Amino acid sequence: MAATKNLFEKKGTVESKGAAKKDDKVSVLVAGKEFAKKLKAFKDLKTQMNNLKANLADIQSEILTVGKNEWINLYKKMMRNPESFRLKSDDGEAILVMPKDQYLSIDENRAKELQEKYGETIVTEETSFMFNSEILNTHGAKISALIQSAKFLTDAEKDALVVPVTTIKVKKGAIEEVFTTGKKNAEEYLSDIQPIVALK
């Protein structure tokens, strides 16, 4: 008798789907100058806000670049992670730079590059399913067997029922390992692992 396949052992990612096309909408005319004035003001303000957001994003990116460089300099000078610090300008303005022990998801190729450079443990991989994880961890094989034996599901439906999502990230605590795992090369190591840095 062939071994029963465990649905909760497979790995994968959820593919993003393209946005649905917008349907043609019916137009309704609202009479009156007051409404016309408010509608125009709304659209004008929205355009201004979008422009301000774009300008803010550009300036924030420049400040983040400076902040990350100064953080690396502090890291090397203090021989440890300085954590949060204030970035000040000549005219007295200041902003808080907050490097975090958090990392963006990476793909398998990037994970492999980091592992070859810094060792297997530099990244972590987590696969979650669209089920209650606590129950699955306890009864996953039995639940899978029940699904596999269900007569009302086709084989294709059984295989498609469980949707695994695999996330690969730099491990927690990597930000503290410049002088060990990072081999004392702060610039290269921190650039490689790319911890999230926030401004406040």
This prediction has a pTM of 0.61
Contact yes or no for 193/175 (Cβ under 8 A): yes
Neighbours of 183 (CB within 10 A): 13
User: Does residue 140 have a pLDDT over 70?
Assistant: yes
Domain extents in the chain: 32-199
User: Does residue 131 have a pLDDT over 50?
Assistant: yes
Q: How far apart are CA 115 and CA 121, in angstroms?
A: 7
| Higher per-residue pLDDT: 25 or 133 | 25
Q: What is the pLDDT of residues 42-92, one digit of tens each?
A: 999 999 999 999 999 999 999 999 999 999 999 999 999 998 999 999 999
Q: How far apart are CA 131 and CA 118, in angstroms?
A: 34
Give the orientation angle of helix 186-193 with respect to helix 108-118, to 10 degrees.
150
Q: Exposed, middle or buried by CB within 10 Å (0-12, 13-18, 19+), for 71?
A: buried
Neighbours of 95 (CB within 10 A): 15
pLDDT band at 172 (very low <50, low <70, confident <90, very high): very high
Q: Please tell me what DSSP assigns to residue 5.
A: P
| Higher per-residue pLDDT: 3 or 122 | 122
pLDDT band at 12 (very low <50, low <70, confident <90, very high): low
pLDDT the model gives residue 77:
93
Neighbours of 198 (CB within 10 A): 14
The average confidence (pLDDT) of the chain is 86
Q: Please tell me what DSSP assigns to residue 11.
A: -
